[in-house]
Chains A and B, each alone.
Chain A
Amino acid sequence: MRRINRRACLKGVGLNALGVTFALPWMESLGWAGVPTGKADKPPVRLGFMYMPHGVIMNEFWPTSPESFLSSPPRALESLRAVLDQCVVMKGISGVPIDPFNGAPHALELSTWLTATLPAPEKRNEINIAISADQIAANHLGAFTALPSLELATMPQTWKENQEGLNEGYYSHCSFSSPTQAVPAEVNPRNVLNRLVNKQEPTKAPGSAPLSELDRSLLDIVLGGARDLRRTLPVSDQRKLDEYLDSVRSVERRIAAIEVRQKEAALEKAGVRASKRHASDSPPIEIRIPEGEKRSEYMQVMCDLNILAFQTDMTRVSTYIGSTPNGASYPELGFNDQHHSNTHHNNDAVKVRKIAMITEFNIRQFAYMVTKMASLREGDGTLLDNCIMMWGSGLEDGNIHARENLPFVIAGKGGGSIRTGRYFADTKGNQGDLLTTLLACAGVPNDRPVGIATKQIEELKAQA
């Protein structure tokens, strides 16, 4: 398996061999970073994922027919009505068959979602799966932005339960930067905001310090020392240290990108417009960190941060774990049960209703995000026009752990690569096919299919 190398991408944009100086491609081109000069007016495509565990109530999720999709959408999708013409729903995309891990449906629903791959059975107690689609995208699209990708969640990723002897990390992670490294998500909105604007709260405990040129030079020296240490270590230790080295380089690169942005801002202040973004583009949205504990507000501020990160081109890839399979509860809906406890509803009307409400609730937060994106001007259209936002679950029916027709909604035209406003009632394909197709639509040159993929879902594309 060939691992796509983030460093190889970096070389392409002028990082020198020491990994220190960062060329200023978008200073020269005065356009979107990394977008060829000839197309400098065209905003880049952004790719976002948002997750809900445990599946849906199927007869409230699947549209009745392709014809009625826009005029009378199913109950679960009602909140998306305003932007439904900018969405695609497809039935028939199957998840990864989980044999030989049949006893671990929840350990795997999230971790297979973006990998379309099963953990290695012989190393099940370690993280050993595959790089996930969002991280493949980050390796390419992230080469030009301050953050290669943004990982968000609303629950701590610390679930512990032993199913089929699988590593506990599989319960709560869907992003993997390599087969052996899970990417943790940020759960604190304030920390995310500080990261996006590179500020630190004067009084609060640190989430993110303002990173400086001095830090970059310091890290460079530390990196040299770490390389010396690496030479003295046995092979298994070297692999562990490589994660550290990768992280240091990534932070160095982020500092470089921040500096470029600051210079750009200074130029703008001096009256020189540094990018060719349209004057009519909407200004960056405002972020209000909620004080209370309402789940809807918590989920929405994370949506807002995702929007802000895309709008300001801080990143072009995001993964938002709306909740992990260990089960959020939704007191706002009038009951305190944990999500999972009602999924095995056995068609009990009360439990079915609760699951349907939880599904609607989650889709409503996604609708909040994409509807807002559709209201923000960017280039000749809207922010949503330039995005591919996928909401979905790794199970179809939590009652029996079915994964034949994974429920998902794609919003956004992907810069014109996706034709929206359609429902396909009988798609043939699997989760790997879908992810491979989305990467292609986002312009990620992908040299190998994702997980179990065998083809692309051509009907999703605009030219099909």
Chain B
Amino acid sequence: MLRSENARATETSDKLRKDMSSLVPVAAALRRLLQTSAASLWLIVSLVLALTCPCGLRAENHDALKADASQYFRDRVTPFVKTYCLPCHRSERPTRAGVNFTPALKTPEHAAFTENWKKADARVRAHDMPPKEAKQPSDDDRRMFAEWLPRLKYLSDKDPGPFVIRRLTKPEYANTLHDLFGVPTSIADGLPDEVAGQGYLNSLSPLQLEQYLAVADNVLRQIVAPPGRRRTATEKRLFGQSARAGTQPGGEPRKAAREVARSLARKAYRRPPTEAELDTLVATFDLGTRNKLAYPQALGLMLKGILVSPQFLFITPAAEAESNAGIVQLDDYQLASRLSYFLWATMPDEELMTLAGRGKLHEPAVLQAQTKRLLDDPRSRALFDGFGAQWLNVGGLQRQVFDPALFPQMTPALRLGMYDEVRLFFQSIVRDNEPAIRFVNSDYTYLNGAVAAIYGLENTVRGPAMRKVRLSNSHRGGVLSMPGILAASSLPNRTSPVKRGVWVLEQVLGEQVPAPPPDVPALDKQDPAAVARLTLRQRTELHRTNPVCANCHKILDPIGFGLEKFDAIGRWRDRDTNGEAIDSSGELPGGEGSGSEGLKAKRFSGPAELKAIIAERNRDVARNLVEKMLAYALGRKLDGYDEIVVDDLMSDLAGDGYRMRAIITGVVSSYPFKYRRIEAPRRRNAQN
């Protein structure tokens, strides 16, 4: 059986190798990362194939693959690590280079060691490790070790990952207050900005808590009328029609307050409150009464209590989970919150809450129908503001610095127009269920007069309103050539081909570009006067005279220079600022030893052809989008079993051409979205 699995893997590799030209940039990027010799190129290619392998590995295969990976690890990898790695990288303090294989041998699949394995893989391929003075493995041993990393994921048990309670982000908090009370979202402007996304900070400081108190006061001022004044509509809606409810003779104010608390908390906590939680809230009402507050004001104090409670500020589970329950399904209220904060960045609406209350939401058909409903709602714009804007790098455009002397037109209005172009384009792909590759390759965009001027279409499109525009210029269309995105990777006074190249590799193709080495060698060995006369391209090409720089830059620079015909704010140009003609041709290298393995460099003459080369990598673009969106939806980094989830999603989506709504629905229906792992208490830390 084992042999047949391996044979199948080889077969897949062969099939994919035919399609290898599209993977050349990845291969080259990796090789540069690994600094390997040409001789081991085929290894890298197979690694790349394994990492990006599109073949769906369904659950039935998983057990077999896991058994194979376990055996491979036990029989082959473990002796290798013991011989070549452990002598230095073992449990001791301090660990050498922060790498310790002692615990990794016990639980190789633990997320904490993924980095270790990746690093070891790269170092061993590059012949960096073991160090020269140490015992060296044979080439066969190195090859064996290289085949380990692609197998690693199969060791992971089926695991949805933890779903640690999560504080609402600033926009989520603002939107939720808006939905609850009808207050403007600007009410939260005073809160500190925060870093969202994979590395989301998710902490809460005393400063923030003080601001939550202040915002709560502000909400109360807007919705609770002072004694003797006319009550606001919101107050009546939330506190009941009568201002004196329960205060009439024979009334029971505490009982009435408890009912108000029940309905308020169900909305604000996004789940029904427990009786103990109601006791707490009634105690805050009592506090108000003791301090001689009138009935509505005492309810106001109770509402303030709700707004600084963790049940409001965090997304918390409705059902109490056994601490040793292991893996559990999200309860329907939690699922409703996860879904609505993912697609709307706000609290679930009444329909979601009702379905959750009836225990229906987790049913696949219901969940899919709700996903569609949420995407059809204008609030789904939040998916762009929260996810799309970060992914496409335009979130910081309003604050980015441009030299006002060089780019006087970069007014707030134009920046907003650029942002809206990207937003409307993103939203159109969601709305029309376009394939993911549409992001790279499209013949339409959205423009208003200001943005049209950047395109040179100022005679076609006028006025401040954005509208859909067909593009006939093949250099335009798609995110590679959108002014907002091009501007976002620019320096204040010029383009940065390197940053553009990095952006395309990381955000469009989903590759990791390593940081430059710490001691970037100086370029000043050149005659400074001569350097000053060079074009930006020629100067940047100096990178490539140094082998340390060259490895990276021969991938980054061609992409960046392919886009050089767009200036720092995205206008077409034929000459640079010194009046020199711009050469935007290039090729993506096939690597040393090309000719073997059928690797051929692909030449392009300008942005349109570069775009076409990148658009051929349909699957990479789609996989990158799936990974980034899943990470955003889960609010955490992907790891271990998630890789298999993505593999499965990719094979489900392939038939349909990776369409956007299918991707979103796939993420929402995925195992880690609907389940969570509950950490066992006091589990021994696997690392030490």
Binding site for B on A (CB under 8 A): 98-100, 102-105, 118, 121-127, 151, 156-160, 162-165, 167-169, 172, 177, 180-188, 191, 195, 200, 205-209, 211, 214-215, 217-219, 221-222, 224-226, 228-229, 232-237, 240-241, 243-244, 246-248, 250-251, 254, 329, 336-338, 341, 344, 346-348, 399-401
Contact = CB atoms under 8 A, between A and B. Distances in A.
Given A122-B115, A167-B199, A169-B201, A156 B193 contact: yes
B515 interface: yes
B94 to A, nearest CB: 10
A169 B280 CA distance: 35
A206 B199 contact: no
A221 B283 contact: yes
Given A207-B190, A236-B164, A240-B165, A127 B99 contact: no
B198 interface: yes
A346 B284 CA distance: 64
Interface in B285-308: 287, 291, 301, 304-305, 308
Interface of B: 97-99, 112-113, 115-116, 162, 164-167, 186-187, 189-190, 192-195, 197-199, 201-211, 213-215, 217-218, 276-277, 280-281, 283-284, 287, 291, 301, 304-305, 308-311, 313-314, 316-317, 320-321, 323, 390, 396, 399, 401, 403-405, 491-493, 506, 512, 514-520, 522-524, 528, 637, 678-682, 687
Contacts of B519: 400-401
Contacts of A177: 205
B190 A206 contact: yes
12 contacts: A165-B115, A181-B203, A182-B201, A184-B194, A184-B205, A208-B214, A218-B304, A218-B308, A229-B316, A247-B209, A336-B493, A341-B491
A156 to B, nearest CB: 5
Contact of B284 (A218, A237, A347): A218
Contacts of B404: 336
A433 to B, nearest CB: 17
Contacts of A187: 192
Contact of A160 (B195, B206, B316, B522): B195
Contacts of A225: 276-277, 280-281, 309, 311
Nearest to A239: B164
A241 B206 contact: no
A184 B208 contact: yes
B403 A234 contact: no
Nearest to A191: B190
Nearest to A118: B98
B218 A206 contact: yes
Looking at chain B's contact residues, the main secondary structure is loop
Contacts of B115: 121-122, 124, 165
Can you list the 7 inter-chain pairs with the closest CB atoms, starting with the nearest? A103-B515, A225-B280, A121-B98, A206-B214, A209-B214, A250-B206, A102-B518
B309 A234 contact: no
Nearest to B516: A103
A190 B500 CA distance: 38
Given A122-B115, A188-B190, A229-B310, A348 B528 contact: yes
Given A105-B518, A229-B310, A234-B679, A221 B202 contact: no
A156 B186 CA distance: 17
Given A100-B97, A124-B115, A225-B280, A214 B301 contact: yes
Contact of A226 (B112, B198, B310, B522): B310
Contacts of A344: 520
A206 B210 CA distance: 10
B192 A186 contact: yes
A264 B679 CA distance: 49
B209 A221 contact: no
B206 A122 contact: no
A401 to B, nearest CB: 6
A184 B210 CA distance: 13
Given A159-B195, A221-B284, 19 more contacts: A99-B97, A102-B515, A103-B515, A121-B98, A122-B98, A125-B198, A125-B199, A169-B201, A185-B192, A186-B207, A214-B287, A215-B213, A221-B280, A228-B277, A229-B277, A236-B679, A244-B209, A251-B206, A401-B519
B518 A401 contact: yes
A248 B113 CA distance: 36
Contacts of B203: 127, 180-182, 243
Contacts of A346: 522-524
Contacts of B167: 240
B515 A163 contact: yes
A401 B187 CA distance: 42
B195 A157 contact: yes
Given A160-B390, A234-B321, A338 B401 contact: yes
Contacts of B320: 232
Contacts of B217: 200, 206, 209
B330 to A, nearest CB: 13
A164 B305 contact: no
A180 to B, nearest CB: 8
A163 to B, nearest CB: 5
Q: Count chain B CB atoms within 10 A of each CB in A99, A205, A226 and give the residue with the most.
A: A205
Given A169-B201, A235-B323, A206 B162 contact: no
B152 to A, nearest CB: 16
B216 to A, nearest CB: 8
B208 A247 contact: yes
A162 B396 CA distance: 16
Contacts of A218: 284, 287, 301, 304-305, 308
Contact of A100 (B99, B165, B204): B99
